[in-house]
Structures are given as C-alpha cells and as structure tokens.
Amino acid sequence: MTTFNCGATIFVDQKIFIIQTSDGNWLGVISRDLTERNQLQREAREERDFALQVINTVGQGLAVTDEGGNYLLVNPAFANLIGYEAGELIGKNPQGVITVAADEPVLDQAHEDRRRGKTTTYSATLLHKKGRHIPVLITGSPRVKNGEIAGTIASITDITRVKRAEAEREELIKNLEAQNSEMERFTYTVSHDLRSPLVTIKGFLHYLEQDLAAGNQARLHSDMRRIANAVEKMQALLNDLLELSRIGRVMNAPEDISFTEIVQDALGIVHGRLAARRVTVQISLSQSNPPTVHGDRQRLTEVLQNLIDNAAKYMGDQPDPRIEIGQRGEEAGHQIFFVKDNGIGIAPEFHERIFGLFNKLDTGSEGTGVGLALVQRIVEVHGGRLWVESEAGRGSTFYFTLPTK
C-alpha cells in the first residue's frame, strides 16, 4: 500500500492496482496486465526509436521496400543522395522514382534474387531529382516478416568517386597506349629517314674511290658535294628532331603576348623567302581590340614562322602570291587564328598525313617534313588544336586555336 500527499492510496492486488482517496472513495482500478503491456510497448517503442536513430544517422544509404515493392523506409543519407526528402519517397516505387531505364534487367534479376531469399550486390544508376545520374552499388537482402519474404532491405553506396577514378585510369592507359604507338611510329620514321642520307653517303664514298682511281677530278668534286649535301640533310633532321623532343619539356614561362607582335617577329624571320617570292602579306587583326594570347613567346613565334614559311614555300607558280594572317571567331574559349595562302593547296586525302613527322607530299621539295609536326605539338602543348582547310590548286588555310589567358 502506498499513500500519496494528495491523500490517494494505491492498493496492489495480484492483478490490479486500486486507487482510493483518503475518504475511502475509489478513484479507479488499473489492471496490472495493462500496465505490463504498456511497459512492453514503451520498451518496444524505445528500441524502435533507437534503431531509427541509428538508421537516420549513418552515412550509408538505406532503404526498405514492402511486399508491394514500395518504399517503406528510407534514411536521410539515401534520400539526400538523390535529392529528395525522405517523406517524398515513402510509398513510391523505386523503379518509378529513381532508377535509370538501362538498369532494368539488373533490377529484374535483383527482384528475382530477393524472391528466392538471396542477398546480392549489384551496380545500378540512380536518377537524381535534378536529372543527374549517380552510379551506386546496392546490396539487397530479403526483408522477412512473419516468416515470409516481404520486400527488400537495401544498402546503397555512392560510387561516383570510384567510377571517376576508374574512368581516369582508363583514360590514362589509353593515352599511354597512344603515346607508345606514336613512339613506335616515331622511332621507325626516324631510323628510316636518317638512314637515307647515310645510304647516300655510303654510296658516294664508294664512287669517290673510283673517281680517285680514275683521276676524275670533276666527278670527285661533284660526288663530294653530294656527300656534303647528305650530311647537311642529316644535320637538319637531327636538329629538327631535337627541337621537337624539347617541346613540352623545355618551355619558357608563359606570358600574355600581343598576337600582332608574334606575327611581326615571325615575318621578320621569314622575310627572305617572302621577298624572293614577292609575296603580299595581309594582316587581318582587329585594331580596336587586338588579340592577346597566353603562352611561350618563342614557341608561338615558331608556329607562325613555320606556317608563313610553308605558305610562301608552297605557292607553286602563282603569279600573285598572297598570304593573309588573321583571327576569326572562338572555339571552347580559345581564339581561332589562321594563315591563308593562295598557293598549290592540299588535296583532302592528304590533310591528315601532312601533320605526321617527316611527311612531305613532294619528296623533291626542300624541308625535312618536321615543320607541321612541330607546329601541332606547340599548339597542343598550349591547349589548342591545329587543322587545315584546303583543296588541290585552291590555296590552303591553316587554323589554330590558342588560349587568351
């Protein structure tokens, strides 16, 4: 028996609590069974609250579906991942709300696995509320209720970073493979092209012996000149190769440079050929807003020098040789520049070939065939690209893009 200050007294019988006021009136009777049930219910509620607290706190996405396949429970980590509030997802079907159509066979299989009571892990793509795709790894286990399979308990891991790292690795491998085959081609071309002057030298050395034996002074001199020419060619090849190998490795600090200045410097270097061919040069650059490029001044001058030199070199028998240098539009935030000539032009089937190392369309022309490979490399090191528009007999326009900042 317990008596409280208010005067109420509680009698505890075997199965009931009796509450009586001080004046002997019954206030009420509470069944002891009921109290125990309440106690059990409270404990169950506390356990449920605790479990929910854990589920709602973990960073791992969790989702439970009912026997109808609809969301019964989702935690904030999962809802946030796809840009929803948990409440927006409850009662909805995952296939309707978040999954990408391409995953359907995978999801059908997962469904089947669950029906058979199996736990499986599979990759899928979630669709963010804003339309973005999120790669995830899902581990789904059957949810068992009253001994029956009644839905799925899924744990969802965002694997965006893993996928990105995988893509980066694949890109890296692809680049390495490309570099490797480029290197193989390069070695082959270099050894092939360096061998040809060597063969010439060897051949004429043999003739020299014959000239000496025959006392043929005139032939001796001409053979020696052929040898000297071959040696010069080899030297030019080696110099160009060295130059090419330096690009990307040895660069001057990038600076903001007026494009007009680069053009003027390059024109100064190739002045001799332009004057000899009586080429008219037109510079089409905005006076009010002259373009400024960002990069290695010396290398960029080499780009213009090579393109202008080629334009003059491949004029053919053009009676009014003209070169136009200018800027036209933008591409991916880079300005597009061009060097245009009215020379012999290049048939479309050779447009790719001319950028290859030692590739010349006319083997009799002067030059080593390294110029455009060099130009391409410099432009690419600056983040730009180089291409040509031309037809045989109708002049050529070489375009290249360069960053302005």
Binding stretches for ligand ADP (CB under 6 A)? 306, 310-311, 314, 341, 343-346, 354, 359-362, 365, 367-373, 396
In the complex, least distance from residue 281 CB atom to ligand ADP, rounded to whole angstroms:
14
In angstroms, what CA-CA distances link 369 with 3, 179, 314, 363? Answer: 111, 20, 13, 9
Q: How many CA atoms lie within 13 A of 393 on its CB side?
A: 0
Closer CB to ligand ADP, 223 or 302, in the complex: 302
CB of 358 to ligand ADP, least distance (A): 8
In the complex, least distance from residue 244 CB atom to ligand ADP, rounded to whole angstroms: 11
- Residue number with CB closer to ligand ADP (320 or 362): 362
Least distance CB 228 / ligand ADP (angstroms): 20
Taking the complex as a whole, how short is the minimal distance between the CB of residue 312 and ligand ADP, in angstroms? 8
In angstroms, rounded to a whole number, what is the distance separating the alpha carbons of residues 264 and 118?
Answer: 75
| Residue 262: partners with Cβ closer than 8 Å, 6 or more residues away | 293, 297, 300, 301, 304
CB of 381 to ligand ADP, least distance (A): 17
Q: Name 117's Cβ contacts closer than 8 Å, sequence gap at least 6.
A: 142, 149
Helix (H) or strand (E) holding 231: helix 217-246
In the bound state, the residue with its beta carbon closest to ligand ADP is: 367
Beta strands in 269-395 (DSSP E): 280-284, 292-295, 322-331, 334-341, 386-390
DSSP one-letter code for 311? H
Closer by beta carbon to ligand ADP, 62 or else 372? 372
Output phi, psi for 341, to 5 deg: -130, 170
CB nearer ligand ADP, residue 279 or residue 372: 372
Judged by beta carbon, residue 169 or residue 271, the one nearer ligand ADP is 271
Nearer to ligand ADP among residue 68 and residue 393 (C-beta): 393
